[in-house]
């Protein structure tokens, strides 16, 4: 067990993100003393992680119940959510009890929304098990599910009571999924903390491994970026939008691929697209755009997508959450670690930027 680091996410309901290796003993303190029954919602592919979580809770005196859900984005639909509500009723989960979500970003999104909507809100602690979930999904209080019309269109802002990031679980993550999580980490470097980029550039091979020399620092820095932003703007009224850098195109790609395309891979392409938009709009230079391509590709992330997909992607982007009325809005860089907004770009500009990432 390593000494745990704590990053506090400030706001109306502040909470801690605990980071370390072998830190499961920290979980009961995050669940709190009021709860008696705890529903441990976990990805069905992770029983070897979920069982010790339930064991740690039972050892601390809770009645812990394992509640499996489908793996990945298949969990984020209304029928699975309704099944959780029914299970919570069967288990007798009351307002003073708690939900613990164990798994990747889809599982933590679902568990968080289930907790937020059950009895109008019960305590929720998240135990993310992937890099993507640690640096993105589990921190910030965004919860939700997908519908046929788009990703994350139904949900709620509901900050967890705590987040436990045990870096030991990263060793169980398939290589391509780990690489996918690096996209959100690198994104945090471009929008807020360039030191992340420097660490990746200095050792791309090490950055691409969970046992790399800078893994903990990369995780902590990416979480700190998100904590600083969401602590100042929980409900995405302004600043928080910068976390969606690259996500307008990314979400369109994911929908086009019926959510079988890894989120981080889509974000990588989306960030390069956003950089090209900023360059064509006269905001950043060629060098910063090329840095996007170089850093993302150095760890094995894609930086291009199908040329023939543009019309479908463009139509999907109209449903993006940052759209205001009929005006499409993008988060772009004005310079490294400084974000701006691009509202209502011309169709010619959009098509020209996409041509730069098309293959």
Say if residues 187 and 249 touch (Cβ distance below 8 Å).
no
Tell me if 151 is assigned to a ligand binding site: yes
pLDDT confidence of residue 2 = 66
**Nearest by Cα to 75 from 126, 121, 111:** 111
Tell me if 20 is assigned to a ligand binding site: no
Tell me if 89 is assigned to a ligand binding site: no
Tell me if 143 is assigned to a ligand binding site: no
Tell me if 327 is assigned to a ligand binding site: no
Q: Hey, what are 260's tokens?
A: 């079988």
Domains of the chain, CATH where assigned: 5-172 (3.40.50.1970), 175-355 (1.20.1090.10)
Tell me if 172 is assigned to a ligand binding site: yes
pLDDT confidence of residue 233 = 76
What pLDDT, in 10s, does the model give residues 215-231?
999 999 999 999 999 98
- Provide CB contacts within 8 A for 59, sequence distance 6+: none
Tell me if 107 is assigned to a ligand binding site: yes
Instruction: Please state, in angstroms and rounded to a whole number, the distance separating the CA atoms of residues 146 and 101.
Output: 18
Tell me if 74 is assigned to a ligand binding site: yes
Tell me if 169 is assigned to a ligand binding site: yes
Say if residues 135 and 184 touch (Cβ distance below 8 Å).
yes
Tell me if 241 is assigned to a ligand binding site: no
For residue 329, CA distances in Å to 44, 172, 244, 305 come to 37, 38, 11, 21
Tell me if 250 is assigned to a ligand binding site: no
Buried b (16+ CB within 10 A) or exposed e, 243-282: bbbbbbbbbbbbbbeebebbbbbbbbbbbbbbbbbbbbbe
Tell me if 105 is assigned to a ligand binding site: yes
Instruction: Please state, in angstroms and rounded to a whole number, the distance separating the CA atoms of residues 73 and 80.
Output: 11
Tell me if 185 is assigned to a ligand binding site: no
Q: What percent of the chain has pLDDT over 90?
A: 87
Put simply, whether the predicted model's pTM sits higher than 0.85 gets the answer yes
More confident residue, 204 or 325: 204
What pLDDT, in 10s, does the model give residues 242-277?
999 999 999 999 999 988 899 999 999 999 999 999
Residue 325 has pLDDT above 80, yes or no: no
Instruction: Please state, in angstroms and rounded to a whole number, the distance separating the CA atoms of residues 219 and 193.
Output: 12
Tell me if 71 is assigned to a ligand binding site: yes
Average of per-residue pLDDT across 190-194: 98
- Provide CB contacts within 8 A for 358, sequence distance 6+: 304, 305, 306, 307, 310
Tell me if 129 is assigned to a ligand binding site: yes
Tell me if 8 is assigned to a ligand binding site: no
What DSSP line would sit under 247-271, residue for residue?
Answer: HHHHHHHHHHTTT-S-HHHHHHHHH
Tell me if 170 is assigned to a ligand binding site: yes
Say if residues 184 and 264 touch (Cβ distance below 8 Å).
yes
Q: What percent of the chain has pLDDT over 70?
A: 97
Place of tokens 């640096």: 135
With cut-offs at 50, 70 and 90, classify the pLDDT of residue 344.
very high
Tell me if 205 is assigned to a ligand binding site: no
User: Reduced to 3 states, what is the DSSP secondary structure of residue 16?
Assistant: strand
Tell me if 26 is assigned to a ligand binding site: no
Tell me if 162 is assigned to a ligand binding site: no
């Amino acid at each position: 067990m390593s000494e745990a680091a704590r990053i506090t996410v400030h706001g109306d309901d502040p909470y801690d993100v605990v980071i370390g290796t072998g830190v499961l003993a920290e979980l009961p303190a995050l669940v709190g003393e009021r709860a008696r029954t705890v529903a441990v919602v976990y990805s069905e592919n992770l029983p070897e992680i979920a069982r010790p979580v339930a064991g740690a809770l039972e050892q601390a005196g809770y009645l812990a119940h394992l509640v499996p859900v489908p793996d990945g984005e298949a969990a984020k639909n209304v029928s699975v959510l309704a099944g959780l509500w029914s299970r919570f009723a069967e288990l007798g989960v009351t307002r003073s009890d708690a939900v613990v979500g164990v798994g990747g970003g889809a599982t933590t999104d679902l568990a968080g929304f289930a907790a937020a909507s059950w009895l109008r809100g019960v305590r929720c602690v998240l135990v993310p098990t992937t890099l993507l979930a640690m640096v993105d999904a589990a921190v910030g209080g965004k919860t939700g599910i997908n519908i046929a019309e788009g990703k994350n269109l139904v949900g709620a802002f509901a900050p967890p009571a705590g987040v436990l990031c045990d870096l030991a679980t990263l060793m169980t993550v398939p290589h391509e999924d780990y690489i996918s999580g690096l996209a959100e980490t690198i994104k945090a470097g471009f929008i807020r903390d360039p030191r992340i980029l420097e660490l990746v550039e200095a050792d791309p091979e090490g950055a691409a491994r969970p046992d790399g020399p800078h893994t903990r620092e990369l995780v902590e820095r990416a979480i700190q970026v998100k904590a600083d932003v969401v602590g100042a703007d929980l409900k995405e009224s302004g600043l928080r939008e910068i976390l969606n850098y690259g996500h307008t195109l990314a979400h369109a790609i994911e929908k086009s691929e019926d959510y079988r395309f890894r989120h981080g891979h889509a974000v990588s392409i989306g960030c390069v697209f956003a950089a090209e938009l900023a360059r064509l709009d006269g905001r950043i230079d060629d060098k910063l755009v090329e840095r996007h391509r170089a850093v993302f590709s150095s760890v094995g992330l894609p930086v291009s997508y199908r040329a023939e997909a543009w019309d479908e992607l463009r139509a999907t982007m109209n449903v993006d959450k940052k759209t205001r009325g009929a005006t499409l809005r993008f988060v772009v860089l004005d310079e490294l670690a400084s974000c701006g907004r691009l509202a209502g770009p011309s169709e010619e500009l959009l098509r020209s930027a996409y041509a730069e990432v098309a293959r």
